[in-house]
Structure 1
Amino acid sequence: MAIVYEFNSNTIGFHHSIDKIPSEDQFKMHAHDEYELLYFVSGNGKFTIEGNTYELKKDSIFLMRPAEIHKISILSDTPYERMVVHFKKEALLNIDPTGILTKVFDERQMGEDNVYFLNEFEGLDVRKLFYAMKTDGETVKKHLAIISNLMPVLYKLESMSKERKTTHISNKRNDVLGELVNFINRHLSDNLSLEILSNHFYLSKSQLNRIFKVGTGTSIWEYILLKRLMGARNLIKSGVGVVKASQQFGFSDYSAFYRAYKKHYNISPKSDFKMQ
């Protein structure tokens, strides 16, 4: 990945990146602790978010909230170019203390209504705003460039999402896959196994795995593990003890939790706890 421009602070980050010859193995299933806006500039592929697959179309904006799992699938060696903003709620607190601007991320089912197109932003040149997030100068100036150009985009998205709800426009998943994803997310703290899921959905284990793999690009267990790790980490960072956090997200064996956590985050749970 060639990074054209990058800026990161404690609460907000931005990068403009181009993969001239992208390959599938570069892009793994993942999620973030922050909100994300991805402006797709060019390329050829699919974007799978919580089991819902969207075609990557030029001048589209994808939005993901914290812990919303997503994955890019590359379909050719066409250069893949995007601009991405990651931000925490704290980045907007002074401007938006009640969280109005993040409702478009939070008040919807995971994996649904993730995409908007630039031609929907009437009266707003979103492309120009994203390019204006890139600037030279001191850290304060770079931070200000991102925040000041992000605000109009978020404000417009908030009003556009209301219009979608009124007109009942939505991007929904395959019914079975959608129900499966929602069920897993509601029961992350419970005992989850393929057998339990198979009994609940009246489908064989192989059928469930096939539906999930085709829809998300990953296995049911990999998905559950990542979701549980992210949930436990959020608790740890909020001050909850590491053992209690692991148990609240379905880990009955702390040593297994420790190994998975260390492998995924490159840091131990206790070290993460001390940093909060």
Structure 2
Amino acid sequence: MKQSVLIPVINKGFEIHYFSKKNQSHDWLKKYNESAEKFSQLESLFQLHRHDVLEVLVFLDGECEFFCEGKTYSLRRGDVVVIPPYAVHKAIVKSIDNYERIIVSVSEHLMGDFLSSSPSMKENIVYQKTQGSYVLHLHSKNSQDIISLLHEITHRIKNGEENSSFTLHYLLFQALQVIFDPASSMPNLSNKDELDQRFVSILEYIESYLTEPDLSLDNVSNYFHLNKYYFSHYFKKNMNLPFYRYVSLKRLSFAVTMIKQNQISIEKIALKCGFSDYSSFYRLFKKEYNLSPKKLQKEYKNLY
């Protein structure tokens, strides 16, 4: 079974990272002050993973198929992938030598500030969600505008400007406005796997009842009037993950976020995230991350 990684992201503000053969994400290595071997375990770009923040990927070059929440997309140069918090995803890259992209991670706090100051952006995001695609095929000019804005942000950060500055936030705000503007993108006609409406409803149901302890394959299949064996096969075919694995990953994602917040005990976090008891939570957590919940809490404190 493939492992999934929850990549730690800052509590507020944003982070921006390039990946290319000539820039092997050395900024991340510097940030975590770890060896490349350990870095690859914590920050794997190509395993199933998820974040507790909004992530925007701008695809620059190479051959890449992108998997997100049951859909697989063939990316082309200039495409933008908008990945919601907690969405399970991964990049499937044919050749790492030619792969190049920019990733921007935007905290919930900063995104909230952007949306409160721009009702039109909020409306555009709602509209994009109704289109049922995580990938936006931008017009060439819009794509270049976004890349230019992100290059300007990176240039200013390298010259010592704090990423909490008004100027950098405004540049990022401009980039997001372009990304979410429906006029910036072309119709999405290249989904490799189109989800049927029933599966979309199943994912919405799981999201709504994720923290309920009785969320189970039997209960969900019964709710949708499906044989549980058929449902199990149907879910895995569409998601590329078994039902219980998917639910576990989602719950663990929420648990990691709460552990980082450090507001209640880890035992209470386990119950709040839908696990039946602490021992089962601990066992799954240790298997998933190869460290204990308390160890993760300690390592996160050391990072920030």
The 1-side partners of 2:131 and 2:288 are apart by 23
**1:34-86 deviations in Å (ceiling 9; x for gaps):** 11110011232322222233221221011122112222233567722110001
* TM-score after normalising by structure 1: 0.75
- Mapped contact 2:53–2:105 kept (Cα < 8 A): yes
Q: What SS does structure 2 have at the residue aligned with 1:134?
A: helix
Cα separation, partners in 2 of 1:192 and 1:117, compared to 1, 3 Å: same
Question: Residue 86 of structure 2: which of 55, 67, 72 is its match?
Answer: 67
Question: Residue 189 of structure 1: which of 211, 217, 224 is its match?
Answer: 211
- Mapped contact 1:34–1:88 kept (Cα < 8 A): yes
Amino acid aligned to 2:204 = N
Question: Residue 272 of structure 2: which of 243, 248, 251 is its match?
Answer: 248
Q: What SS does structure 1 have at the residue aligned with 2:52?
A: coil
For 1:257, the equivalent position in structure 2 comes to 281
Structure with bigger helix share is 2
Q: Structure 2: state its 5+ residue gaps.
A: 1-8, 23-43
Cα separation, partners in 2 of 1:79 and 1:64, compared to 1, 3 Å: same
Question: Residue 133 of structure 2: which of 87, 101, 113 is its match?
Answer: 113
- Mapped contact 1:29–1:218 kept (Cα < 8 A): no
- Mapped contact 1:14–1:146 kept (Cα < 8 A): no
The 2-side partners of 1:29 and 1:116 are apart by 21
- Mapped contact 2:67–2:73 kept (Cα < 8 A): yes
For 1:239, the equivalent position in structure 2 comes to 263
For 1:129, the equivalent position in structure 2 comes to 149
Amino acid aligned to 2:150 = F
- State the 1:117 CA deviation: 2.3
Superposition pairs of residues 33-182 of structure 1, within 5 angstroms:
33-74=52-93, 79-91=98-110, 97=116, 100=119, 101=121, 112-119=132-139, 125-135=145-155, 136-140=158-162, 147-160=169-182, 173-182=195-204
Identity, in percent, stands at: 24
The 2-side partners of 1:86 and 1:40 are apart by 15
The 2-side partners of 1:19 and 1:123 are apart by 21
* TM-score after normalising by structure 2: 0.69
- State the 1:155 CA deviation: 2.0
The 1-side partners of 2:215 and 2:112 are apart by 37
The 1-side partners of 2:258 and 2:114 are apart by 26
The 2-side partners of 1:249 and 1:141 are apart by 32
The 1-side partners of 2:216 and 2:131 are apart by 22
**1:110-137 deviations in Å (ceiling 9; x for gaps):** 9933222230765971222233332232
Q: What SS does structure 2 have at the residue aligned with 1:250?
A: coil
The 2-side partners of 1:142 and 1:99 are apart by 19
Amino acid aligned to 1:152 = Q
Q: What SS does structure 2 have at the residue aligned with 1:260?
A: helix
Structure 1 position 32 matched with structure 2 position 51: yes
- State the 1:198 CA deviation: 2.7
Cα separation, partners in 2 of 1:176 and 1:141, compared to 1, 3 Å: closer
